[in-house]
Each structure stands twice: as structure tokens, then as C-alpha cells.
Amino acid sequence: MPQPPLTPNAPALLADVGGTNARFALLDAAHALPRAIRTLPCADYPGIDAAIAAYLADSGAQPQRAVVAIANPITGDAVRMTNHHWSFSIEAVRQRLGLQQLKVINDFTALALALPRLAAADCLQIGGGVAAARGPKALLGPGTGLGVSGLLPSGSDGWIALAGEGGHVSFSPADELELEILRLSWRRHAHVSAERLLSGGLGLPLLYQALCEIAGVAAEPLDSAEISRRALNASCPQCQQTLERFCTMLGTAAANLALTLGASGGVYLGGGILPRFPGFFAASGFRARFEDKGRFSDYLKAIPCYLITADNPALLGAAAALAD
């Protein structure tokens, strides 16, 4: 049965769904940017359709189109989140919510689409020179998991966002301490991915426990928020070492991605963790490790890195996907 035509000027629903929070917004012809932004904890809802329904009931909107950016690979109609229990059929959700169109994309694909829309004030540059205007852009960022994407130039002014799962590549140690961290992590996990150590939900606690064991100190049952808090207020030497090493190891991952993509357009760092401590991150060993690549150190020294500080940037990418 053919769908009825879309109502002119009807708002569209935008969503950015991570392993911890789901952010919703509306986009319509009267507003250039997403509006009515609201964040809902994923744990409060049995499924994505319940969270969307709660947001729409609160906003009073009746959208006909929606774009959902979600922390998960999108390979067909069935979606099962990697770092949360939600699973759903895209078509079934579309029908239950009465939408004519529902596009579901990876959350870091959406964030990559947002990069050309970011203003200079939306980013903090950390080292490097001037980005090539039409050069490939690399993107990664720790949140509940580790998101990875990139943006490649297409034609005279277009861009193609990559949809990959680079956070699940094997962790790459760069010195003896990180090699020992990897050995200890192998006791718990047959495959230690970059995400296992470079994320909030999994990484910071595992890294903290490994560093405590190496130092011969009893580890407390701390989550990532408490590790970060103690590190930033300098109340726990092991937490300080954990956060510093976390930033340094992220420099290796960022450099590997920059080399893979030839990211002359810059390396962008997103996710929900780093914007909480931009000063600490900028002063950490991230940039020194990023440039520490032997014969390709000079190549990497020229590439700027940018910490994304804008609020809800993936919603901008979802809006770009809606217009595509």
C-alpha cells in the first residue's frame, strides 16, 4: 500500500542513541538547528520505541520522518546494541510509531556527517598545523564504547561518511607497561579490543584494575566516573595514572587511524568522556604519543587534532542524514 505524501513543514525526529543515554530533538523548516533537545537514560526504558514514544508525548510532536543514530553496526533490519540490551526491527519500530520514513545509521557515522557543520568555536585544537580543506577527516571517541569513523571527500563539495566498527580492532600496546596491561587483560578476555581499554563503560575500570595490580595496590570497585573524579582532584595516584595512560593510549589509536585514512583534514575526537576534562586531555601525553611514529612522526606532526566540545553534535549529523 503506497504511503500518503509527507505533510509540508512537519517536524522530523532526530535521535542519537548511545549505550547509556538517548538524545532526541526535532527539526523543522522554521529552525535551522535541532530544537527541543532532551536526554533520556536508556536504562529507564525497555526498548527504543518506548523511549521515542516518551519523548514525543512530552514534546507533543507528530513527526512523519525520523533519523536514529545508534551505537551499533547497521547491517539490515535487525538491530542489537553492542553495549546495551535494546534490540529491535527497524521496520517494526517504524510501524509502531506511525512513521512514514525511518532511517537508522551508526552514531559515529552521524558524528562524521556533522564535522563540516562544526564552527571553529565547537572544537579545541590540540597540536598540528592547518587542516587540508578537502582532506580526509578521521574521527574517534570514547564513550560507553569506542566509536570510530571517517569522512572522505566526494566530488567538488560532497562528503562520504564511513560506517565501520574500528573500536573493535585489536588493542595495540606501545611500550612495556601497555604490554603488561594487555597480558593482564587477556586473563579476562580472549580478544582485547581497543574498546576494552579505551572506553568508559569497559575501559577505564579495566585499565585501573590492571595498573593497580602492576603497582601491587589493592583496587577499589570504582566505575569510570569515580576514577575520573579522583584523577581530576588528585586524590588517588592510581586513578591519575589511569586517566593519563588512557589519554596516552588514545594517542596511539588516533595516530593509527590518521595513517590509515591519510587524514590531512584532521583527526576529530568525540564521545562523551573527553569533553568532561578538556584541560587535562590537552595537557596529557595524547599529542606526544600521536606523533611518536618513527619515520612517520613528521607526517603526523602536521595533522591537527580537534576535541569536539559542541553540545549534541551527532544530532547535527542526523539532520545531515535526513537531508541526504
The answer to whether 279 is a known ligand-binding residue is: no
In angstroms, the CA 36 to CA 63 distance is: 13
> Within a 10 A sphere around the Cβ of 248, how many other Cβ atoms?
21
The alpha carbon dihedral of 35, 39, 42, 44 has a sign of negative
The answer to whether 260 is a known ligand-binding residue is: no
The answer to whether 75 is a known ligand-binding residue is: no
Residue type, 40: L
In angstroms, the CA 261 to CA 162 distance is: 11
In angstroms, the CA 151 to CA 128 distance is: 19
The answer to whether 169 is a known ligand-binding residue is: no
The answer to whether 15 is a known ligand-binding residue is: yes
DSSP for 112-164, written as a single string: HHHGGG--GGGEEEES-----TTS-EEEEEESSSEEEEEEEEETTTEEEE---
In angstroms, the CA 271 to CA 281 distance is: 13
In angstroms, the CA 310 to CA 278 distance is: 12
The answer to whether 18 is a known ligand-binding residue is: yes
Burial 249-287 (b: 16+ CB within 10 A, else e): bbbbbbbbbbeebebbbbbbbbbbbbbebeebbbebbbb
Do residues 51 and 43 lie in contact, with contact meaning Cβ atoms separated by under 8 Å? no
Beta bridge partners of residue 126, listed in sequence order: 305
Please report, in range form, the residues annotated as the binding site for ATP: 15-20
Please report, in range form, the residues annotated as the binding site: 15-20
